[in-house]
Each structure stands twice: as structure tokens, then as C-alpha cells.
Structure 1
Amino acid sequence: MRNTINGVSYFYQWLQPYRPALPTLVALHGFTGSSESFRPVFAEEGSYNVLAVDLIGHGRSSIYVHPMRYELPLLVEDLAQLLAKLGIERYGLYGYSMGARIALFWAVMEPAAVTHLLLESGSPGLADPAERLARQRHDRRLALRLLREPLVDFVDYWQELPLFASQKELPLVQQAAVRQGRLQQNKFGLAVSLVYGGTGKQPSCWSALPQLACEILYLAGEKDVKFRKIAHQMKQLQPEMTIKVVANAGHCIHLEQPTQVRHEIDQWFVKGSGPQSAD
């Protein structure tokens, strides 16, 4: 399904048949991913609805729109309006990596609407202005490389990052499916997403963590040392946040351990605000 918000066409899909009496969890994918990446996690119906969205520049959502639409404040405004158009006033958010950054920013901007926040391998951004500037420069260089080279070359580079090393333990057919999903992306959309929606560009959410009142669960992979550290740094500012370290998983936990991720979500995401409606 599609819905146009402020000139941007967003593709979204219910991963099971929508049931108005149940709460909704909104799933936001990572960089080079799409809403399809969550399908293995939610293959079976549960006690909640799952709405997966293709983020701007990815999948079947708009690509060639004004670059400012990729910036987190405007992107989150669009996504909140999408949920409002669907008649869903309160909901949980589940984001992976880039999607987790967006979900956290969304929870900060729309505290009355977000009941639950699940962050998988996510970050509140960079608090140090010098680090943000350095990251912006890095992301611009990476975006230029992406635009100049064939997409397959960038995908080869991306999948070899140490962050994704544990994915090499997956069955070859599963690795091939992930690679094929990346190759189906549009390199212009990915490049603009890096420059305007990347970690260096987004406003830092570190100072906002103590004010969050929703239920927060952070999933970190046992093999993902960097994001396990970030999770514990976040908990120092938001003691009510629950951290779950998932065994035998790296950065992309829902790819490597989908059954365990589903178990954690089922235990955590409980019915919230009663019946909703959707188009």
C-alpha cells in the first residue's frame, strides 16, 4: 500500500492481516534494507499488528524528492502523519540500526503517541559537534563513492564491513538473499539518505533520553561490542530502559536470530490503547 505525505510516497505493508482490536507496532528497517527484511520475524500472527514501512530513499518509497525530506525532523513528521492518516493514534516503534535512530527521534518528537520503543542496534546519534562534523564528511565521501561506482561495488564494500562479519556464518542462501535485497536499492536514494539522514546529520538525542516515558527495550547482539557499549551508556541516562543481549548474534539481530527477536518482542510489547483503525 502507498500513501503520499507532504509530496513523498511511502510504501507500507501489514505483515499480518490488520486487526483493529489489537495494538500496532511500527517496524523501521536499516540502511540498504526495506520493509521486507522484517517478514521472517513476523511470519506468524501474534497479539499485535505489525506495520512495516519503506523509509524514504529505500525500497518502494519515494527517492527523487527534495533532500530535506530525508532529514530526521521532516521524515519523522511524515511518518507520524502517515499513522494519523491510518487512524492509529498510539503505537509502538521498532527500529533496527538506521531505523532505530529514526524510531528514537520519533519517540522524542511524539511522546504522547509512542507507547513502546524497541531499539535494535541503535544509537541516539553523536553528542560531540566535532564528531558529528567528522561523520558528516565521512558520509559525504561515502555517498560520492556510491554515486560514482556501480551499485554492486558499493554492496561488496558494505557487506564486508566488520560490523556485519557475523553474517558470514549464515547459510549461503540467506546471505545471497540479503545481498540481492541490497542490489535492488536505488543508489541515488541511498546516497541522499547517507548525507541528509545519516548519524552525523541527525540531531543528538542523548540529552532527551531522561525525559522519555514510554517502555523502552534495547536489543544488542552478543558479538556487537560497539552497540552493547552504546546500550549501557544510554541506560546510564535512562535507567528504566531494559537491555537484552541476544546470544549468537551480531549487529543485525533479526536477521541472525529472528525467533529470539520475536520471543523478546512478544514478551515485551503488550496491548496498549485499545482498538484502532486503518485504511
Structure 2
Amino acid sequence: MTPAGEDITWTSADGLSLYAKAYGPAASKLTVLCLHGLTRNHKDFEPMIAALPGHYRFIAVDVRGRGRSAFDPEPNNYNPAIYARDMGALLDKLGIARVALIGTSMGGLISLLMTRRMPKRIAGVVLNDVGPVVEKAGIARIAGYAGKLRPVTGWASAAEAVKTIQGAAFPELPEERWMDFARRTYRELPTGEVVLDYDPNIARSLGKVKPGALTNFALWRMFGGLKKTPLLVVRGETSDILSEKTALEMVRRHPDAKLATVPRVGHAPILDEPGAVSAIIDFLARLEAKA
């Protein structure tokens, strides 16, 4: 069941209208900011939020160019550094002094940047299927479809399109859940047309991603900035973005990190899988106890 939520809007430093949705009590001891992946939006976290304890305050965002946030007329602004700045503006507007982060894929990179820029505001970080080494095969796969999918003819067509793209990552997902997946990925216009819920121009940023020794070095240095922040790494067992080798190295280098591997799932776990839910519950309970 989709949890009820409260709309939040704010304005970025460069004047874009941005959107987030809050779930759970405003008076919660712990607020969790949820940051989605490249082609997703705030709805991506609804299955996770429905599966977690209801006493936390979750704020799931639409970064610029996705969902109900405005499209950016300057496509070069579709990059994690700008997204991190937007999140700082959101926290300022809401008066949130300290927050936990759950970042899926691109959202995890935003989380790394936020922790570097505002370390005292970050209580803990969950990195969902992303790390300092981003595998070339995964980048190539995402670049092959982001902003390039053919138009669909309705919701049934959208569900089939999502299954075609994501089926290998979720081989055991029940048939009826592909429609739910589609409704988190597409939106219906007033005309009745069903379209992808993002600006196709977001895909331009992928062309600037150059996996290699230099990029890895920079990301490992950024990851080093997490050492004083509790960390949970969630990895899909068959992920083509975060390798097992990189995930284990992340935990080895971090003094307060745990790894949860979601079996028979690729990039990226939905986070309502039993293993992910159990690990996140334990992690948030630890953060709450310190709040």
C-alpha cells in the first residue's frame, strides 16, 4: 500500500521549483532524506517506507528534472554537485539540523557530496548499490536506455517496457508488481498520455562519466570523508554497478560500516526486500538512539 504523505516545495538557488514528499510524524527523533537514482523520483522509496517503522520522518525528493520538480533549461546543471546544493536548500527551508541519508545509485553520490559539504548535518548514510568504483558495464547499460526509450501506448505498455529494461535485475519480481514499478517510473498527462517521469536531457550527464583510475581515485577520496559517519552499504547480489570487491573494500576502509547483500537482485535493490529492510531497521535504530 502506498503510504500517505505531505507535499513539500522549495526553490533552488537558481530559481527552480523543486518537490519532495514527507512521510511520518514531523516530531520524529530521526529524519531520513531519501535520494533516488538517475531516472527515478520520490516514488521509488514508497515500497521501502511502507516496509519500515512508521515513527520515522522520511523525506523523499524529486531532484531537478524528475517527477514534480521543474525541468532545468540548462542541462549541464543535471549533476550531483548541483543536486547536493539543492538538498542543502531543502534542509535549510525545513530547519533540519541533522538528517540521515538513504541514497540509491546517483543518490548515493549525492550523499557523499552532502557529507563532505555539511558533515555535522549528516547522522548516517545508507548507500544503495553504489560506491567509489562504478562498473563500466553498468554505466553502459544505463546509457543504453536513459532518455532513449520508445513512447508507450498506455499503462500496460509502460509495465511491459519496465519489465524489459529491469527484468534481468529482478528475475523473481511477481508479475503484478511490474505495474507498480511502472507507476513509480512513468506519469500520466492530463491528455491521458503515459510518459517517463523525467526530463530526457538528464541522460546527457552520463556522457561525462568516465570510469577509470582518476575518477576512482577522486571518489575514494570523497568516500574517505565518510569515516566519522555511520555507514550501511546495501548491494544487489548481481549488481553491475557495485561489485562485491568494491563493496567489501568500502567496509574494510570504513571504521563503522556494515554490508547487506540482497540475494538474486541486481541494480538497484528496491529496499523492501527482507534483508534490506532488516539491515535498514537496525541501522536507523542505532542512529535514533544517538539522536
TM-score by length of 1: 0.78
Matched, 1:119 2:135: no
Structure 2: where are the runs of 5+ without partners?
A: 1-7, 188-193
Distance of 1:208 and 1:186 partners within structure 2: 36
Q: Secondary structure of the equivalent of 1:223?
A: coil
The one-character-per-residue Cα deviations of 1:45-70 (angstroms, maximum 9, x if unpaired) are: 43421111112211111114322332
Q: Does the CA contact (< 8 Å) of 1:57 and 1:186 recur in 2? A: no
Which residue of structure 1 aligns with residue 84 of structure 2? 76
Which residue of structure 1 aligns with residue 224 of structure 2? 210
- Which structure is higher in RCO with an 8 Å CA cutoff and minimum separation 6? 1
Which amino acid letter does the alignment assign opposite residue 66 of structure 1? E
What percent of counterpart residues are identical? 24
Distance of 1:102 and 1:231 partners within structure 2: 18
Q: Secondary structure of the equivalent of 1:254?
A: coil
Matched, 1:233 2:242: no
Q: Does the CA contact (< 8 Å) of 1:166 and 1:249 recur in 2? A: yes
Structure 1: where are the runs of 5+ without partners?
A: 275-279
The one-character-per-residue Cα deviations of 1:7-42 (angstroms, maximum 9, x if unpaired) are: 1222111122322x4111101112322211211222
Which residue of structure 2 aligns with residue 277 of structure 1? none
Report the CA distance shift for 1:241/1:151 in structure 2 as closer, same or farther (over 3 A). farther
Q: How far is the alpha carbon of 1:101 from its aligned partner?
A: 1.9
Cα RMSD for the two superposed structures: 3.4
Q: Does the CA contact (< 8 Å) of 2:48 and 2:272 recur in 1? A: no
Q: Does the CA contact (< 8 Å) of 2:32 and 2:56 recur in 1? A: yes
Q: Secondary structure of the equivalent of 1:192?
A: helix
Matched, 1:219 2:226: no
Q: Does the CA contact (< 8 Å) of 1:10 and 1:61 recur in 2? A: yes
Question: Which stretch of structure 1 is more off in the superposition, 264-273 or 9-18?
Answer: 264-273
Matched, 1:200 2:209: yes
Q: Does the CA contact (< 8 Å) of 2:162 and 2:178 recur in 1? A: no
Report the CA distance shift for 1:25/1:199 in structure 2 as closer, same or farther (over 3 A). farther
Which amino acid letter does the alignment assign opposite residue 80 of structure 2? L
The one-character-per-residue Cα deviations of 1:179-213 (angstroms, maximum 9, x if unpaired) are: 34323286694433222377717974211222321
Q: Does the CA contact (< 8 Å) of 2:133 and 2:246 recur in 1? A: no
Which residue of structure 2 aligns with residue 23 of structure 1? 30
TM-score by length of 2: 0.75
1:260 paired residue among 257, 272, 275: 275
Which amino acid letter does the alignment assign opposite residue 262 of structure 2? V
Q: How far is the alpha carbon of 1:83 from its aligned partner?
A: 0.7
